[in-house]
Amino acid sequence: MADTLPPKEAQLYRKLSKCYDTKQYKQALRHANAILASADCLDHPETLAMKALVYNSLEKRKEALETAKASLRKGIMKSLCWHVYGIIYRCDGNFEQAIKCYRQACVKDPPRLTADVFFPCCQKNQIILRDLASLQIQMRDLDGYRESRRKILMERADLAQNWSGLAVAHHLNQDYDLAIEVIGKWLDLQKESKTPLHDTELSETLFYLVQLHADKGDPETALKLLHEHDQEIWDRRGFHEMRAQLNLALGAQGQTEASEKAATIYGHLIDDNPEDRRYFDGLFEAKHLTEPAKRMAVLDEVHNRYPKATLPELLVLREATGDDFKSRVDTVLRSCLRKGMPPLFNMLRHLYVDSTKVATIQTLVEGYVASLEKDRAFAAGEGIESPAVLVWTKAYLAQHLDHLGQYDRALSTVREALAHTPTALEVYFVEARILKHMGRLNEAADQLELARSLDTADRYINARCVKYQVRAGQLEKADQNVVMYAKENGDPMDYLLTLQIVWFNVVGAKAYWEKRDIPRALGKVHMVADDFNTIISDQFDFHTYCLRKSTLRAYVRFLEGEDNLHGHPNYIEAAILGAQIYLYLKQKPYKKGGDEDDDPALIGMSEADKKKYLSKKRKAAKKAEAAAAVAATDNKAAAGKGGAKKEEEDLSSRRHYDKKGEEHALTSEPLEAALKLLKPALELMPKTHVDLYITAFEVYRQLNKLLPMCRMLAAAAQIDAEHPDVHVCRVQLLQILAGGIDGQDELVQKVLPEVQKSLFGSVSDAHALNETRKAKAAAEPKEALAYNLGRVALGEASVDDAYAAVVAVVAKAESFPLKDAQALASRVRREAPSQLQACQAACLRLWPAADAFKPRTSTEASA
């Protein structure tokens, strides 16, 4: 086929391109079909490519992909066809395939047509290269990104963003000298340019150049540049912070004068903002203030100048001791209690690592309460205080006692405060937190529901109430409250998906998992994963925007933040939970519709209660099916009014995730699904969440991958070597290694002996390793769990016998943290249900009010 179009079709193509640019997609589609209907242009590749773009803009992904493939078959040498194919892959989130397509588009010769005939992307490789570069930085292909940026600059050296892009590419590759050279060359060219940079762009570029020298490890040159361009850098706060940091770095190299300058600058920064902890830390480091008395003198001087500043007054409490501390904390407590500051306890929490200071605070606050109740004053003979002061004082005392584990007294104290002033909403939070620490989750949720009803316009109270209700298993109430502020049109639960309420999905997944509603639990887990993936995908548009706006320092920090996104606690918790569910499915595959016998609510019920519970459950299921049928009928009726659009929207609805949750539960490869969730977090190797590595170890163990098992065990041991599950992992791995590694790859066999030595030292017998925990196993629940699960791993005991031994130790223990007791009960319910009643009884002895250990009736289970 000829590269040129007949005059009539060429005119239609111009209209097609114009309609696409102005987002008149239906009109553009008609023009494309008219061109393709011509006998001479039945399979015109560029028109097919444009038609694919129109379909893509109309959210018709399937048709867009098919049309793009057709255009490629007819014009495999056409740059536009490859470019459009890449755009469609990019919109679908398949960045790897999109990069391949863009690379093909770059190597193909662009069409030799007049500029106003074909899609503008085909005129030059510049736009294709820019899109390719964005994809490469999105996928962190740093070498490819640098090369693409070099080519872009070679073609258009007159644009500032092209110079900035290449400098950032070198920076990300840690080639600081080349990055500095690129920025320097561009600044030199600007001196001769007829269109110089805008002042803000010049300011950011110069500041970025200073940052490059600092990152390179050359603070002296960076400081010199900073002073040279003092008048051109507009970010004055950032300017002074950078000056202080650079002088501090020079001071660390032995330049005394630089340290003095740093101290002076930090002093000025404190004058600007005495509530920034970084400035005080910098000042102490610059002045080499290691003695508490000297730091206190500085803090007192700042507080005298700024008496309304809170931070200096709080920092000095950490340094003070004895009577001086008592006097100072007395002043702080009285001032804050008079003001009625709810976060007072959190402000002073850092002092609770010192038992002497804790005792002093308790003596003072108890004295306040007694005096306020008797004389309405903090001390006899002093002025009368407002009645509200007693409420806040008792609320603080309750939090103090709660922190010390004196839950009964804390609960009594906070209820006295509420009896005094029932409308103090913040005090309800204190009571709910105490009840949570006692394990009384339902009461805690009910108290926050009461607080929420007192102020239905407060979103924060509503959110906290929802979180407590989900923890208590009150899922229906939580669903009703969480959508209270949703938009009225459409399903309010679908509106929540657009808000990306990650914490709600995390706690919801845990609650559904406790109820063994596996599809919904997995649906929630994958909602969290999709939310984080969406955040990752959303960075795409910023790759060109930040370069265009010259916000280079913020852009580099932004990329670093995105790289660490999957280290967020919410993602890690969701990934661990999802992997644990998949491990459970590996042992007990999910049956479509669920398995009544697998319902954990049945454990511990009498036969009569079981029958009642199952009957209610079946009736509820039938009711839900009927409601779903009605909804399906309504959807069909709406098909003539945009039903196709409704079907497309359902892909991002809660119903979609419920359906996908069941598909996830029915997976034939649960271990691979578990790894897919864990890997983004494991790549960052966070120094928290020992459960992440324990769970990954188990997945790799079932996949028989020894080296990853060793890596997970080493990471877990660095966080908590005494953790019971870490001990079990060590026993399992040592037993596997003792059994021989003949079936492993040659490379694995070569390195494993060294790895084994680093992990276990001279210990080579798994039984002997497990016996090291036996001595304490008779008295300490955690040690008993480690030892007895180690015996299970060695084949020396059954799971039921192991947990029976652990429960026996708990039954005799003097103390066992509530969190550990709840985790043990959850494990027993999942792994050894025959021991659940005994476990609940043993834990209930230590935590008599905790909901988790109370036998459930059919009424409670169906609630």
pLDDT digits (tens, 9 = 90+) for 540-556: 989 999 999 999 999 99
Q: How confident is the model at residue 603 (pLDDT cuts 50, 70, 90)?
A: low
Report which of 176, 173, 174 is spatially closest to residue 209, judged by C-alpha positions.
176
Angle at Cα 431 formed by Cα 429 and Cα 437, nearest 5°?
105
| 6 has a pLDDT exceeding 60 | yes
Place 197 in a pLDDT band, splitting at 50, 70 and 90.
confident
Predicted confidence (pLDDT) at residue 623 exceeds the cutoff of 90: no
Q: Give yes or no for residue 855 having a pLDDT over 80.
A: no
Check whether 649 has a pLDDT greater than 90.
Answer: no
Query: 703 CB contacts (<8 Å, ≥6 apart)?
Result: 671, 675
CB count in 10 Å sphere of residue 346: 10
Instruction: State the average pLDDT over residues 324-340.
Output: 95
* Mean pLDDT value across residues 381-402: 94
Phi, psi (rounded to 5 degrees) for 406 = -90, 70
Contact by Cβ (8 Å): 847, 438: yes
Q: What is the CATH architecture assignment of 486-624+647-686? A: Alpha Horseshoe (1.25)
Q: What mean pLDDT, rounded, does the chain reach?
A: 88
Give residue 386's region: left, alpha or beta (phi > 0; psi -120 to 50): beta
Burial class of 101 by CB neighbour count within 10 A (0 to 12, 13 to 18, 19+)? buried
User: CA-CA distance, 571 to 562, in Å (whole number)?
Assistant: 13
pLDDT above 80 (res 234): yes
Could you give the CA distance from residue 818 to residue 442 in angstroms, rounded to a whole number? Answer: 16
Q: Is 558 helix (H, G, I), strand (E, B) or coil?
A: helix
Res 191: pLDDT = 82
Q: What is the pLDDT of residue 328?
A: 96
Strands, DSSP E only, in 146-201? none
Q: Is the pLDDT of residue 759 over 80?
A: yes
> Tens digit of pLDDT for each residue in 457-483?
999 999 999 999 999 999 999 988 988
The token pair at 15 is 């209209």
> For 481-496, what is each residue's pLDDT tens digit?
988 887 766 677 777 7
What's the alpha-carbon Rg for the chain, to the nearest Å?
A: 33
Q: Examine the pLDDT at 602 and tell me if it is beyond 90.
A: no
Give the integer Cα–Cα distance in Å for 366 and 330.
12
> pLDDT by residue (tens digit) across 122-179?
345 788 899 999 999 999 999 999 999 999 999 888 889 999 999 999 999 999 999 9
- Count of CB atoms situated within 10 Å of the CB of 826: 17
pLDDT beyond 70 at 629: no
pLDDT at 497: 81
Tell me, what's the pLDDT at 122? 39
Tell me whether the CATH fold assigned to 7-230 matches the one assigned to 486-624+647-686. Answer: yes
Question: Residue 346: is its pLDDT beyond 80?
Answer: yes
Q: Give residue 198's pLDDT.
A: 80
Interatomic CA distance for residues 111 and 84, integer angstroms: 14
pLDDT in tens, 176-195: 999 999 999 999 888 877 66
How large is the average pLDDT for residues 748-763?
Answer: 87
Query: What is the domain partition of the chain in residue ranges?
Result: 7-230, 486-624+647-686
CA angle 51, 57, 60 (to 5 degrees): 80
pLDDT at 499: 85
pLDDT digits (tens, 9 = 90+) for 31-53: 999 988 887 788 889 999 999 99
CB 579 within 8 A of CB 700: no
pLDDT score recorded for residue 280: 97
Q: How many Å from the N-terminal Cα to the C-terminal Cα in the chain? A: 70
Please tell me the least confidently modeled range out of 164-168, 334-338, 593-597, 789-793.
Answer: 593-597
Question: How is residue 852 annotated by DSSP?
Answer: G
* CA dist., res. 76 & res. 73, Å (int): 6
What is the band of 610 on the pLDDT scale with cuts at 50, 70, 90? low
Between vectors from CA 809 to CA 805 and to CA 815, what angle results, nearest 5°?
A: 150
284, pLDDT greater than 90? yes
- The separation between CA 847 and the C-alpha centre of its own chain, rounded to angstroms, equals 32
Confidence of residue 847 (pLDDT cuts 50, 70, 90): very high
pLDDT of residue 117 exceeding 60: no
pLDDT in tens, 39-97: 778 888 999 999 999 999 998 989 999 999 999 998 888 888 999 999 999 988 889 99
Look at residue 646 and tell me whether its pLDDT is greater than 70.
no
- Please tell me the distance from the alpha carbon of residue 482 to that of residue 524, in angstroms, as a whole number: 15
Q: What is the pLDDT of residue 111?
A: 38
Phi, psi of 148 (to 5 degrees): -65, -40
What CATH code would you report for 7-230?
1.25.40.1040
**CA 681/CA 568 separation, integer angstroms:** 8
The whole-angstrom separation of Cα 107 and Cα 42 is 26
Residue with tokens 């899922």: 475
Q: Is the pLDDT of residue 584 over 80?
A: yes
Average pLDDT over every residue of 410-425:
96
